Amino acid sequence: MDSLARRIDALLPQTQCTRCGYDGCQPYAEAIASGTADIDRCPPGGDEGVERIARLLGRATKPLDPACGDYRAPQVAVVDEAACIGCTKCIQACPVDAIVGAPRLMHAVIASWCTGCELCLPPCPVDCIDLVPTPALPPAELSRERHFARKARIARDAAEREALLDAWE
């Protein structure tokens, strides 16, 4: 990642919500730096985030693109324990591994890691996840590290699975 993209990425809230149309904050920052994405596509950053990026780039500010969604105050996911069926779909959707649990057992959200991205809501078959206000999101650096650690774990698991399948042949 080049220097400009790194500086833009540092200004993003690191919710990894994909509402900008990119697969996380870093790809969005790279797209802004390369000129293929506009600065107004991050709802979690809101108008303040757009202003910070505009200032960095020496550009005029603009309102948040409504096609990407509206700004919402910081929020975290909470699982209704009585309704959770343990399907693990929310765990698979969480970009920062903030949801823990096991198949057929109740899941829980580690609130201090949750970015409020809302990605866990659509796959939940029993609608047992709610979003509640929180005073602040986790530090951006923690969310960035958790996101990259998750991606590395998924890649490692896929490589291990492939090696096992190759060994069976």
Task: List the CATH number of the domain containing 116.
Answer: 3.30.70.20
pLDDT at 61: 95
Q: Is there a single domain that holds both residue 159 and residue 128?
A: yes
pLDDT at 102: 85
Residues 6+ apart with CB under 8 A from 39: 32, 50, 53, 54, 57, 59, 62
pLDDT at 81: 87
Task: Specify the number of domains making up the chain.
Answer: 2
CATH number where 16 lies:
1.10.15.40
Going by the DSSP 8-state scheme, the letter that residue 135 receives in this structure is S
As a residue count, the chain comes to 169
**What are the pLDDT digits (tens) for 73-126?**
999 999 998 999 999 999 999 999 999 988 888 889 999 999 999 999 999 999
- Mean pLDDT for the chain overall: 95
1 has pLDDT over 70:
no
Select from 38, 68, 98 the last residue of a domain.
Answer: 68
Going by the DSSP 8-state scheme, the letter that residue 37 receives in this structure is S
Q: Is there a single domain that holds both residue 36 and residue 90?
A: no
Q: Is there a single domain that holds both residue 125 and residue 142?
A: yes
Q: How many Å apart are CA 48 and CA 95, to the nearest integer?
A: 23
pTM across the whole model: 0.90
16 has pLDDT over 90:
yes
Select from 44, 68, 92 the last residue of a domain.
Answer: 68
CA-based nearest residue to 146, from 41, 20, 17, 16: 16
In percent, the amount of the chain with pLDDT more than 90 equals: 91
Q: Is there a single domain that holds both residue 94 and residue 45?
A: no
Q: How many Å apart are CA 156 and CA 148, to the nearest integer?
A: 12
Q: Is there a single domain that holds both residue 84 and residue 147?
A: yes
pLDDT at 169: 77
pLDDT (average), residues 26-38: 97
**Which residues span the domain enclosing 29?**
3-68
Q: Is there a single domain that holds both residue 77 and residue 25?
A: no
